[in-house]
């Protein structure tokens, strides 16, 4: 039987997802002239000029926020602001400061005890990737034909009125699919992954990992990654049931969109703007009452081994979705309630840059707005304050990170669960309804009659009597209680 092991540090991590072009710009990185104004609305093709040295210069802000791990979307040379169209897997994009800037970021982050995970785009490359470019120049005479999946000639990489004649991700001819059944392509990808681990990165987030179906590919990837750094984090972009990848022989976790969709459906209720979620691969509608949400969470926690549950990457939104604030029609309470759940759920929470200050955004490119560093008057400081408070609570109490999980109560729109270990017992409760909620629940603890509780986050009315917790919460409110003798 396979012994499942996952990186211990991930169980104690709070991630912060950074989209480099939009997070922060440093004057130390030379820039071309034709950049969009930092504060103007983002466009699909335009660049703002964010870079990795800008991230370095904001590490004190991130430390103060409480995050201790970064997930950085692609940084390698690319002709796009999002850099999912890779030209050179060994060269950090010059607009981001080049390889030296990554070295400085890794050193500065590690000095603060902060880990750095990069985005690996290994399913497809780009039209500018050297081997594909050679095919465009030399046609059927290129020695690199079997690195890709060519159907016919001539290739049409730009003219949409003609068949592309090669396989591309989602039919996007800008993204020729790599032929991972070719041993040379497979070895190329493995060596790229190994190279950057040797350079000091702490893990890989694997873009559209479900698209790579070559037998044994991800098993080999794991073996080679873990041979270099047994504590390296491997997380796949899988939006739905991920059991086939989470048996301990491939990924340590996935981007937990099953948690995302259910949590939005519960906390936002009928506020969800359907146009912003209907083409995503998660289910944020219809609205869930507390019992249905509790059932979905119980189902999710039964999908994978506990060792895997603790290293899932939990999120509320990302560069691939509208921001939760917009999904909920601007309802700030939804974001607050969902963030309480995010920070107390098993697995590693991940905050999308700017969510902590209430940065809005519809679908791409709007969800990728620039961080308004020069305009703190635009920040939602209440949202920033509760992010700091909830992150601090999670990091202060091991039970909120690695403690057991127990459903306690689910009725109407009030949901409560416990996180506990041998040293501490916490109750997390959410009232997603528009009216006050009264809940009564058994804590199933020895000597309950001698116990008392106190609010460590939020407010309400709570008491313990004869082994039962009696709790009253205001409308659209949440709390965290600590139960003690």
- Can you read off the two tokens belonging to residue 63? 């430390």
End-to-end CA distance of the chain: 41
Distances (CA, A) of 182 to 44, 86, 128, 136: 33, 19, 20, 19
Longest dimension (CA), the chain: 82
> CA angle 110-115-121, nearest 5°?
125
Q: Determine which one of 237, 317, 356, 380 is catalytic.
A: 237
CA–CA distance, 378 with 366 (Å, rounded to integer)? 16
Q: Can you tell me the distance from the alpha carbon of 453 to that of 467, in angstroms, rounded to the nearest whole number?
A: 12
337's CB contacts (< 8 A; 6+ apart) are 267, 430, 432, 476, 477, 478
Selecting among 21, 51, 202, 207, the annotated active-site residue is 207
Which residues have CB under 8 Å from 329's CB, separation 6+? 268, 271, 272, 273
Both tokens assigned to 85: 């169209």
Give exposure, 94-121, as e/b (b: 16+ Cβ within 10 Å).
ebbbbbebbebbbebbeeeebbbbbbbb
The CA distances from residue 458 to 193, 233, 410, 429, in Å, are 44, 33, 19, 10
Structure-block tokens of residue 460: 């309400």
Strand 15-18 relative to strand 69-72, pairing: parallel
461 strand-pairing partners: 472
Is 207 a residue of the active site? yes
Token pair listed for 231: 């504590």
Give which of 2, 83, 14, 9 is closest to 232, Cα–Cα.
9
Question: β-pairing, 115-120 with 69-72?
Answer: parallel
3-class DSSP state of 378: helix
- Decide if 45 is catalytic: no
Which residue from 47, 30, 29, 51 is spatially nearest to 38, judged by alpha carbons?
47
Element (H or E) spanning 381, and its range?
helix 381-396
Beta carbons within 10 angstroms of residue 376's beta carbon: 10
**SS3 assignment, position 157:** coil
Residue 89: half-sphere exposure toward Cβ, Cα within 13 Å: 21
Q: Which residues contact 159 (CB under 8 A, 6 or more apart)?
A: none
Backbone angles phi, psi at 71, to 5 degrees: -110, 115
**CA-based radius of gyration for the chain:** 23
Distance between CA atoms of 150 and 159, rounded to whole angstroms? Answer: 17
Q: Which residues are catalytic, by number?
A: 207, 237
């Amino acid at each position: 039987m396979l012994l499942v092991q996952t990186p211990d540090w991930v169980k104690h991590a709070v991630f912060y997802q950074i989209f480099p072009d939009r997070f922060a710009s440093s004057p130390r990185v030379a820039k071309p002239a034709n950049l969009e104004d930092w504060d103007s609305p983002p466009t699909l093709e335009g660049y703002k000029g964010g870079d990795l040295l800008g991230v370095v210069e904001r590490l004190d802000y991130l430390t103060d926020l409480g995050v201790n791990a970064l997930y950085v979307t692609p940084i390698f040379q690319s002709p796009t602001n999002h850099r999912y169209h890779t030209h050179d897997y060994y060269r950090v994009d010059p607009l981001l400061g080049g390889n030296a800037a990554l070295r400085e970021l890794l050193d500065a982050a590690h000095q603060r005890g902060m880990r750095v995970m990069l985005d690996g785009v290994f399913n497809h490359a780009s039209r500018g990737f050297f081997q594909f470019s050679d095919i465009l120049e030399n046609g059927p005479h290129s020695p690199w034909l079997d690195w890709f999946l060519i159907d016919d000639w001539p290739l049409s990489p730009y003219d949409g009125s003609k068949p592309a004649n090669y396989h591309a991700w989602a039919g996007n001819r800008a993204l020729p699919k790599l032929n991972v059944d070719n041993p040379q392509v497979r070895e190329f990808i493995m060596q790229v992954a190994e190279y950057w681990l040797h350079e000091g990165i702490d893990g890989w987030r694997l873009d559209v990992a479900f698209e790579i179906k070559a037998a044994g590919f991800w098993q080999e990837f794991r073996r080679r990654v873990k041979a270099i750094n047994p504590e390296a984090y491997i997380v796949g972009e899988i939006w739905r049931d991920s059991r086939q990848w989470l048996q301990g022989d491939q990924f340590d976790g996935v981007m937990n969109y099953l948690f995302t969709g259910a949590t939005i459906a519960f906390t936002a209720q009928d506020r969800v703007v359907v146009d912003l979620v209907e083409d995503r691969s998660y289910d944020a509608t219809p609205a869930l009452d507390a019992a249905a949400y509790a059932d979905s969470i119980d189902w999710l926690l039964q999908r994978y081994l506990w060792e895997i549950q603790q290293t899932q990457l939990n999120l509320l939104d990302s560069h691939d979705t509208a921001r939760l604030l917009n999904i909920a029609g601007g309802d700030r309470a939804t974001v607050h309630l969902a963030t309480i759940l995010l920070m107390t759920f098993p697995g590693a929470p991940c905050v999308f840059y700017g969510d902590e200050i209430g940065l809005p955004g519809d679908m791409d490119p709007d969800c990728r707005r620039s961080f308004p560093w020069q305009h703190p008057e635009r920040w939602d400081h209440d949202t920033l304050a509760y992010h700091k408070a909830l992150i601090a609570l999670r990091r202060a109490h091991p039970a909120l990170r690695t403690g057991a999980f127990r459903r306690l109560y689910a009725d109407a729109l009030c949901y409560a669960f416990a996180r506990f270990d041998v040293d501490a017992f916490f109750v997390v409760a959410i009232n997603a309804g528009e009216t006050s909620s009264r809940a009564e629940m058994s804590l199933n603890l020895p000597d309950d009659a001698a116990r008392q509780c106190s609010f460590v986050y939020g407010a309400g009315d709570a008491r313990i009597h004869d082994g039962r917790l009696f709790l009253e919460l205001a409308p659209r409110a949440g709390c965290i209680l600590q139960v003690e003798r």
